[in-house]
């Protein structure tokens, strides 16, 4: 089981999501590598990122705690950093992770409440079995939709020519800082982005400012539009990959928790069987 939650692990998905076309497309919870390489479709794998409430079996509290031990990084880690996790006696998990697919409405703070019940409705979320969907294969909702469903998917659009500075206090992990310079850059501005690897990118001028240069205006305009489209798509692809990786980690996390819970139940069943066995001596 540990291999399942290892960073970049190549665990087989026990959730066994079906593929859309019925061919040999692998399930989604394989490694990111296989995600990049295979023809897999994530259709029909309805997002389960609405896990904001973890329900533990009564006897499994200590076991499940082990699932979120800091040394099992991938269980609680995201693509960018290890999330600080505080577990109090009151079974509240606080996860600081901005821009998270599994983020809640409270900006950068996730609160996962662990409720001790014996219910088998644990981890109930938007995921339905194919039977529940009447066997109809549906495309998995977009990550944006997942975010919106969680109430944390607010996307800020910065109008052209303005600079937005986000201040959330000093030292807030994951705080994004944008610095824009318009000076002497033909047709656009350089934007510095303070988080992640892509620290700098080029932003062309707005579309409603035509690049009149005399000859070939139409051609240039078309080329410029194409450049803008490519730029936007490049950034969208980056963001999409980031979200996807986070989504995969979320699923892996869920698998780990379910595996652990399964083990707990097995142990519990064993002990109950022993209790029920007639004594032989």
Chain residues binding DNA by CB under 7 A are 8, 10, 31-33, 36, 38-43, 139-145, 148, 155, 197-198, 230-234, 236-241, 243-245
CA 52 vs CA 22, 93, 102, 103: distances in Å: 32, 10, 8, 9
For residues 24 and 97, what is the distance between their CA atoms, to the nearest angstrom? 35
Angle value at C-alpha 65, between 64 and 67, nearest 5 degrees: 65
Q: Which residue's CB is nearer to DNA, number 202 or number 267?
A: 202
Q: Which residue's CB is nearer to DNA, number 9 or number 173?
A: 9
For residues 234 and 188, what is the distance between their CA atoms, to the nearest angstrom? 17
Q: Which residue's CB is nearer to DNA, number 136 or number 183?
A: 136
For residues 110 and 117, what is the distance between their CA atoms, to the nearest angstrom? 21
For residues 250 and 143, what is the distance between their CA atoms, to the nearest angstrom? 12
Min dist. Cβ of residue 219 to DNA (A): 16
On the CB side of 86, CA atoms within 13 Å amount to: 8
For residues 196 and 80, what is the distance between their CA atoms, to the nearest angstrom? 8
Q: Rounded to 5 degrees, what are φ and ψ at 177?
A: -125, 130
Question: How many CB atoms lie under 10 A from the CB of residue 257?
Answer: 20
Taking a C-beta distance cutoff of 8 angstroms, is the pair 86, 94 a contact? yes
Q: Which residue's CB is nearer to DNA, number 123 or number 242?
A: 242
Q: Which residue's CB is nearer to DNA, number 176 or number 241?
A: 241
Q: How far is CA 261 from the centre of its chain?
A: 22
Min dist. Cβ of residue 47 to DNA (A): 9
Min dist. Cβ of residue 29 to DNA (A): 13
Taking a C-beta distance cutoff of 8 angstroms, is the pair 75, 112 a contact? no
Q: Which residue's CB is nearer to DNA, number 97 or number 249?
A: 249
For residues 82 and 36, what is the distance between their CA atoms, to the nearest angstrom? 23
Q: Which residue's CB is nearer to DNA, number 191 or number 240?
A: 240
């Amino acid at each position: 089981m540990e291999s399942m939650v290892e960073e970049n692990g190549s665990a087989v998905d026990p959730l066994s999501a079906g593929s859309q076309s019925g061919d040999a497309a692998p399930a989604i919870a394989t490694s990111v590598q296989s995600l990049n390489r295979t023809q897999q479709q994530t259709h029909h794998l309805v997002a389960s990122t609405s896990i904001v409430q973890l329900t533990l079996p009564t006897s499994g509290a200590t076991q499940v705690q082990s699932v979120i031990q800091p040394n099992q990084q991938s269980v609680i880690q995201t693509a960018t950093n290890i999330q600080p996790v505080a577990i109090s006696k009151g079974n509240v998990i606080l996860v600081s992770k901005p821009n998270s697919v599994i983020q809640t409405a409270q900006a950068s703070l996730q609160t996962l409440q662990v409720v001790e019940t014996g219910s088998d409705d644990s981890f109930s979320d938007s995921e339905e079995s194919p039977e529940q969907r009447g066997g109809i294969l549906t495309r998995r909702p977009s990550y944006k939709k997942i975010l919106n469903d969680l109430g944390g998917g607010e996307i800020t659009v910065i109008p052209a020519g303005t600079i937005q500075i986000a201040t959330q206090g000093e030292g807030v992990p994951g705080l994004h800082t944008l610095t824009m310079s318009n000076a002497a850059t033909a047709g656009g501005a350089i934007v510095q982005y303070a988080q992640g690897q892509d620290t700098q990118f080029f932003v062309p001028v707005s579309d409603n400012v035509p690049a009149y240069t005399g000859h070939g205006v139409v051609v240039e305009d078309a080329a410029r539009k194409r450049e803008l489209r490519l730029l936007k798509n490049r950034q969208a692809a980056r963001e999409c990959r980031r979200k996807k990786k986070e989504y995969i980690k979320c699923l892996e996390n869920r698998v780990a928790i379910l595996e652990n819970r399964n083990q707990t139940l097995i142990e519990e069943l064993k002990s109950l069987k022993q209790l029920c066995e007639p004594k032989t001596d």
